[in-house]
Amino acid sequence: MLVVETIAKIRLAYFIQRKSIKQICRELRVSRNTVRKVVRSGATEFSYDRTSQPRPKIDPWRSDLDEMLAENDRQPKRQRLTLVRICEELRNRG
């Protein structure tokens, strides 16, 4: 997300200092598409608002995972499950 200072630097370099878009990209380390968007629009802040928050993919297995991790913490250190083994267990459960 761009901050107001970066947008101001881009506009200053393009309109006042007459630098090319390519040169601005190199100096500020932003993409050319971003610089073009800032130059063409009059907005001082760009943000993206989600219409709905997506559900995490792990949500159906969250309770199983929490249960497995709690049980895993109670085990002695040498008998604890590795991350790969936990993943395999979750796959086997469906």
**DSSP letter, residue 51:** S
Residue 1, pLDDT score: 67
Query: For 35-88, how does the pLDDT look when each residue is reduced to its tens digit (9 = 90+)?
Result: 999 999 877 776 777 788 788 888 888 888 899 999 999 999 999 999 999 889
Domain boundaries, the chain: 4-40, 59-93
Whole-number Å distance between alpha carbons of 51 and 12:
33
DSSP states of 57-70: TTGGGHHHHHHHHH
Residue 38, burial from CB neighbour count under 10 angstroms (0-12, 13-18, 19+): buried
Q: Are 84 and 91 in contact (CB under 8 A)?
A: no
Number of CB atoms found within 10 A of residue 3's CB: 10
